Chains A and B, each alone.
Chain A
Amino acid sequence: MTETIARAETLDTELDGTRLATALAQTWKTERGLWGALTTVDHKIIGRRYIVTAFVFLVLGGVLALLMRLQLAQPEARVLGPDRFNQVFTMHGANMMFLFAVPVMEAMGVYLVPLMVGTRNIAFPRLNAFSYWIFLAGGLLLWIAFALDMGPDVGWFAYVPLSGPQYAPGKRADIWAQMITFTELAALAVAVEIVVTVFKQRAPGMSLDRIPLFVWSMLVTSFVVIMAMPAIMVASTSLILDRLVGTHFFNPAEGGDVLLWQHLFWFFGHPEVYIIFLPAVGMVSTLIATFARRPIFGYLALVMALIATGILAFGLWVHHMFVTGLPRLGESFFTASSMAIAIPAGIQIFCWIATLWDGRPVFKTPLLFVIGFIVTFVIGGLTGVMVASVPFDTQVHDTYFVVAHFHYVLIGGAVFPLLGAVYYWFPKFTGRMMSERRGKWAFWLIFIGFHLTFFPMHILGLEGMPRRIYTYQPDLPWHGLNLFVSASALILAAGFLIFFIDAIISARSGNPAGDNPWDAPTLEWATSSPPPAYNFAHIPVVGSAYPLWDQPGSLNVASGLHSDRREIVITTITIAEPQARESSPQNSIWPLLTAITTTIMLIWSIFSPWAVVWGSIPVAITLIGWFWPSGTPEDEA
């Protein structure tokens, strides 16, 4: 395929810098206006969209959290009734996990991975566009249902029988299950794209030991996604079948099993935590190297820790079921495996501290968030070790202790690095810097507000306060701490408000960033900010893990790609030797149309099983349109 005859003057070797840039810009461009927005397959535009959408869901989920804190600030308060409260906490959990945390991490990967490995677009760019539209449809489904008082009210975990046909009449639980289908479909698509991009599209010379750690983390995450999602898809599909068709997967009276749901759900649900956490780890490693001004200490150990975490993630699900009455021996095994996750986590923490120790830290906002991450995540990790102990867990399971624990892990362990990463890569996304002054305000308010909000919850849990209660009686000794927690949540919210204000102001009028404002070492900084549609005029060739530090000035480049058609370099998996030129698809409206027909089929199937039959016809038609040869040069290659 590489030897297709092409006119020589279209090769990049034949053009000077300006003419090449013009030609590439023409080849890779996204049309202006609505049509361009709907048809684009540029990973940067889709990634940006994905990130912004996920942050919108963060805001919505945060508002729900504040509503819950308002209700719980007083005993027997009547801000929210039990029905509304159950919808709100279910929405908060489902929204934060499925519409914010996982998508935002995937989205950072969609934007950054192709740039960091030095290629021009993500693998399967049309699938990437499709993934975003499906994600958006799933989010809209959930939130529109909530606005119509049809929001799911069975918890983000939707345990049967409570979510089954007998105890959850109406369509609320079906909407939860189908929202899962949407978001899992979107996540699986991105995971496949990232695996292929990292395996086959790395810049020449970027052997396995030169891959940036964020890219490594996205690679491991993508494998975890690919292996974990089928479990939840089986689970949610079985639930829909029980509810819609009258199967009895989870009905003990007919030979079904209630605990089967929990096994399937947590076989996905625990790795889900690492799907969120591993990309954050990659961000931390990236930020620490840049701001400690030295290569990360223990690169190999960190990669091994990522892989070990990804594998161990599948051996821990039973620790969510320690009080369901499983056999002792099994429980002990899962105690040991759950505690073992502390080993790769420890390796990472120690390597980061070693890097900071030997480096010369520059205390910019991104590094502050990383420090806040270490302070917070170590607490979350240690409380994780606590709940891994079966006897300890029997006292804190399903209490506010666990609420505190996983917010320490998810906010401290993933959102702090994410915010640091946004401050770090914002100049690359927009060409403008975020404000250091507002950034420091945001950091301190979020950091202090977070600890004041969530630390007391450990105590509440030990004092016997269960999770998911919409109120508590005045004679219980919890009201003081609950009021304190609710008030502190306002500080946390104020911090996020400043962050968002800063992002909006800076996007419009921040200081121009230049290509590499942090003097960072990885390839995404080797192109302009924001990068052109084609990412790199010439594909860079790298000779180390920190190419911009090792080859300051100018990178070696590979040439010989066409400028009049979308072409990328394919390299080998291990040592990234150039293998072939491969074409990359052009913009297309079909991913959007396919997403629309898929959405119709999935939502229709909440109401009738026949939707799967009749609804698949338009899906098939749009898929045929998607794959139909269109006679472009890309098709020939």
Chain B
Amino acid sequence: MIRRVARLLALLAAISLAGCENWQSALQAHGASAISLKHLIIFIVAVCSIVWALVMVAMIYALARRRAAWRAPTELIPERERRMGRIVTACVGLTVVIISIFTLASFFTTRALSVAGSDDLTIRISGMQWWWGVQYLRPNPKQAFDTANEIHIPAGRNVHLVLEGDDVIHSFWVPSLAGKQDLIPGRINEITIRAERPGIYRGQCAEFCGLQHAHMSFFVIADEPQDFERWAAAQRAPATQASDEEIAAGRDAFMSKPCAACHSIRGTKATGTSGPDLTHVGSRKTIGAGLFETTRGSLAAWIADPQTLKPGNNMPLVPLAPEELRAISAYLASLK
């Protein structure tokens, strides 16, 4: 009874939350892999629930059934022992059948998961404490480009991800699209994702990776193929030129301060690689690996005090005059 109430409460809570954006949930599957995984999950959970219910019925009956007259503990009835032996054997046999079915179902589900071909889009993902490097590889190296923490893919196509750990182990997981896969230093892993329809899918590091493991999220944005091509062309281009004085001042401050030592902005002198590429940072949905929506204000706040907003991250506090801070954040926000 109490367990049922507990389940009901849990279920109610889950339903009441379903109205929120469920953009990071294995149960809100929008990718080919995630959909077949969800079917497998539902099948196994359903069978297991039935098994549990049957065991409970048997146990409750065993406890509550009416009993014949008293007998001494060691007085066993041979006929009854034999019958129980047969029933237990049958139950064990049924267990073997069920787990065999599960094993086969797992095997065939894995085999059916789509695998990208060699001509599909390939993206190299590197996990770093605590952000994601994203590198679009193209047959023509000139068309390759870098970005960070945001992965655009064409909807309805297989996309091949090459996963590399740069410092410690991380795990790439976008539950609405596919199961997870680790990024391990010294190893290269691969995974194929495919979004069935355009949308924004949130992902998050799933392997404990240190202080800011909690704030190492990213977005996969599935676009219509033509939108994706437009986006890719824009990303390939070097950073936009300064369009006004404040932005130009911000660019100069960025280049003269330590910022450029860690960050790259293509088309400028900034070629650092230890922090995220900022060439088109203004076009990204969020900054700080999913920490804040990208606005001029959030950029300014982040630059002013990165250690309070994301304690332990590798971006140092760079002392800036207020006008420099304003200018740099205006410049970064302009990098669409």
Could you tell me which A residues sit within 8 Å of B by CB distance?
A: 81-83, 86, 155, 159, 161-162, 166-167, 252-253, 257-259, 293-295, 297-298, 301, 323-325, 328, 331-332, 335-336, 339-340, 342-343, 346-347, 349-351, 353-354, 356-358, 360-361, 371, 374-375, 378-379, 382-383, 385-386, 388-399, 447-448, 451-452, 455-456, 459, 462-464, 466-473, 475-478, 480-481, 484, 521, 544, 546, 549-550
Contact = CB atoms under 8 A, between A and B. Distances in A.
21 contacts: A82-B214, A159-B169, A258-B165, A258-B187, A294-B73, A295-B76, A297-B88, A324-B184, A346-B92, A350-B91, A375-B56, A383-B48, A391-B36, A392-B40, A392-B44, A392-B106, A463-B17, A464-B173, A476-B24, A481-B10, A544-B74
B321 interface: no
B52 A378 contact: yes
B74 A162 contact: no
B76 A294 contact: yes
B116 interface: no
B92 A347 contact: yes
A86 B48 CA distance: 34
A350 B94 CA distance: 12
Interface string B207-238: 11111111001000000000000000000000
Interface string B18-35: 101110111100000010
B22 A386 contact: no
Contacts of A385: 44, 48, 99, 102
Contacts of A339: 99, 102-103
Given A375-B3, A392-B41, 14 more contacts: A323-B206, A335-B106, A335-B107, A357-B61, A385-B102, A391-B36, A394-B178, A398-B208, A448-B6, A455-B10, A466-B173, A466-B213, A476-B24, A481-B14
B185 A371 contact: no
A82 B173 CA distance: 21
Contact of B25 (A253, A455, A463): A463
Given A325-B184, A335-B107, A336-B103, A395 B26 contact: yes
B211 A83 contact: yes
Nearest to A393: B179
A473 B44 CA distance: 31
A81 B307 CA distance: 12
B180 A323 contact: yes
A360 B2 CA distance: 25
A354 B186 contact: no
B142 interface: no
Contacts of A388: 102
Contacts of B163: 325
B192 interface: no
Contact of B74 (A353, A398, A546): A546
Contacts of A473: 217, 290-291
B312 interface: yes
Contact of A167 (B7, B167, B179): B167
| Interface hub of A388, A447, A468, A476 (most chain B Cβ within 10 A) | A476
B84 interface: yes
B17 A324 contact: no
B311 interface: yes
B274 to A, nearest CB: 14
Contacts of B175: 395, 464
Interface residues of B, number: 99
Nearest to B64: A361
Nearest to A452: B6
B247 interface: no
B26 A467 contact: no
B16 interface: yes
A382 B2 contact: no
Interface string B160-198: 000101011101010100111110111101100000000
Nearest to B203: A464
Given A391-B110, A466-B204, A484 B180 contact: no
Contact of B45 (A357, A386, A456, A471): A386
Contact of B107 (A325, A332, A375): A332
B95 interface: yes
Contact of B26 (A82, A354, A464): A464
A392 B44 CA distance: 9
A149 to B, nearest CB: 14
A159 B70 CA distance: 58
B62 A477 contact: no
A356 B210 contact: no
B153 interface: no
B320 interface: no
B113 interface: yes
Contacts of A382: 48, 51-52
B175 to A, nearest CB: 5
Query: Which 4 pairs show the lowest CB-CB distances between chains A and B?
Result: A394-B179, A252-B186, A357-B62, A469-B214
A521 B63 contact: no
Interface in B64-88: 65, 67, 70, 72-74, 76-77, 80-81, 84-85, 87-88
A170 to B, nearest CB: 13
B114 interface: no
B262 interface: no
Contacts of B20: 475, 477
A316 to B, nearest CB: 13
Contacts of B62: 353-354, 356-357
B317 interface: no
B58 interface: yes
Nearest to A168: B210
B37 interface: yes
Given A466-B204, A469-B214, A252 B185 contact: yes
Nearest to A479: B17
Given A343-B96, A392-B40, A395-B37, A161 B182 contact: no
Contacts of B311: 81-83
A584 to B, nearest CB: 33
Contacts of B6: 448, 451-452, 455
A39 to B, nearest CB: 42
Contacts of A332: 103, 106-107, 110
A357 B84 contact: yes
